Amino acid sequence: MQFPYIKFQCESVPAFPTRKNIVRPVINIKLKFNGNEINHYALIDSGSDYCFFDAELGETMGIEIKNGKRLEFFGVTGEKQESFFHNISILVGGWEKECYCGFCYGLTKRMPYGILGQKGFFDLFKISMDYKKEQIELKPKE
């Protein structure tokens, strides 16, 4: 299954004075838990060890967020963050996979999408990203 990169508008900065937008490997997925579903965008992030989503999404699906297994971690900002892990399903390109992912409060304040990391996404799919063509190809691993 192929997905296009998503283009985001952005401001120019001294290092990139002509920049008006950026493209990122963000795809539309569906999160599922106990018969509840939510469509959401997620960044394919090979630098993330785990998958993370905003806690409000989990609460909307009926997950008791703070009953999950707690993990403190440090993101790229160096700021300590707290996440609670739960088993859910994700639907990507017609494939439904079990995903053990973390839910963080306030994640959407930092970015408008979830994160698909090594455990819970890269271990489930073969991923090919072509920045020049702005194309992502996913195939489920057997």
In the numeric block, the tokens 């950026």 are attached to 22
- Domain locations in the chain? 2-140
Among 140, 73, 78, which Cα is nearest to 102's?
73
Instruction: Report pTM.
Output: 0.92
Gap between the Cα atoms of 58 and 86, Å rounded: 9
CA–CA gap between residue 41 and residue 121 (Å, rounded)? 14
Instruction: Report CA-CA distances (Å) from 137 to 1, 28, 64.
Output: 6, 13, 34
CATH of domain 2-140: 2.40.70.10
What pLDDT is recorded for position 76?
Answer: 62
Query: What burial class does residue 119 get, using C-beta atoms within 10 Å of its C-beta: 0-12 exposed, 13-18 middle, 19+ buried?
Result: middle
Q: What is the pLDDT of residue 77?
A: 67
User: What is the secondary structure of 41-73 as a DSSP string?
Assistant: EEEE-TT-SB-EEEHHHHHHTT--GGGSEEEEE
Instruction: Report the pLDDT value the prediction gives residue 142, as an integer from 0 to 100.
Output: 78
Q: What is the DSSP secondary structure assignment for residue 78, as one 8-state letter?
A: -
**Average pLDDT of adjacent 10-residue blocks, the chain of 142 residues:** 95 95 96 96 95 95 97 79 95 94 86 93 96 96 84
- Are 41 and 48 in contact by the 8 Å Cβ rule? The answer is no
